[in-house]
Structure 1
């Protein structure tokens, strides 16, 4: 199963908090943790990683905090995953470092993994933080989980 880590998931959630702020004000780690309902040590760890990778800017001092380093439209999901987990790679050989896999030169599926990995990376690169910060509109014909079926209603 292909799955990103919980810290990456939380990182995306935290960055959407910043992306939704139209004034681009600074937010303390404590405020972000409270809003996201996540433990402060976890939030601190994620915010520091995102700052090291250039997605957030950290300001020290009493009025310090964090804010986005770039506009939400300029930050992709691929950028966030790379900041928290490293390069997007389905297999070890899809990382752009030749010689990581001893089978690489004779592997019959190496080229296909490269193609699949590139498609996934491009898809993740095409989704921006600004999009992640907006709730997805309900598609016509999809069930609304908040609607109780008529036959289940109590009269």
Structure 2
């Protein structure tokens, strides 16, 4: 089963919450503590996610007594693939994708070695074509009166 890590899921939740609260580029900021309270994710986990996202240039930290974090760019300019790479590393279905070495005992004689590259490229393109803005749009399948479950609740 192909599955994102919980930390990547939490990163998406935190980023969308930042946008919902208006913490857009050059806008107000949110603290890790307030984001934890608003999302139900433990504060140390939120702080860890924010630190990783800041290193990847997806959020920016603001220092000082009114400091916190805000988005580095609008949600529509943040592809899902960037978040996955920031948290989990390169998107690769197998150890030998893109010429990677050392993850398989049968690598030297593998009949499908190198054949996963087009599959992996298709997945990367698909994830690059979906932005955080796409994930925050209301789903036509849901009834407006029923609140949507947070993404992190679905992963557990």
Query: Normalised by the shorter chain, which TM-score bucket?
Result: 0.7 to 0.9
Normalising by structure 1, report the TM-score: 0.81
SS at match of 1:26: coil
Deviations along 1:85-125, whole A, 9 cap, x unmatched? 0011111111x455445755653213331111111111111
For residue 37 of structure 1, the aligned residue among 17, 40, 43 is 40
Please identify, of 20-29 and 53-62, the stretch whose mean Cα deviation from structure 2 is larger: 20-29
Unaligned runs of 5+ in 1: 147-155
Aligned residues: 141
Unaligned runs of 5+ in 2: 147-156
Moved over 6 A (4+): none
Query: Is contact 2:96–2:114 with CA below 8 Å preserved after alignment?
Result: no
Q: Distance in 2 between matches of 1:29 and 1:106?
A: 49
Give the drift of 1:132: 1.2
Q: Distance in 1 between matches of 2:62 and 2:96?
A: 39
Q: Does residue 1:135 correspond to 2:122, yes or no?
A: no
Larger radius of gyration: 1
SS at match of 2:66: coil
Query: Is contact 1:19–1:130 with CA below 8 Å preserved after alignment?
Result: no
Normalising by structure 2, report the TM-score: 0.80
- Give the corresponding residue for 1:62: 65
Mark the CA change 1:116 to 1:74 in structure 2 (over 3 Å): closer, same or farther. same
Q: CA RMSD in A?
A: 2.2
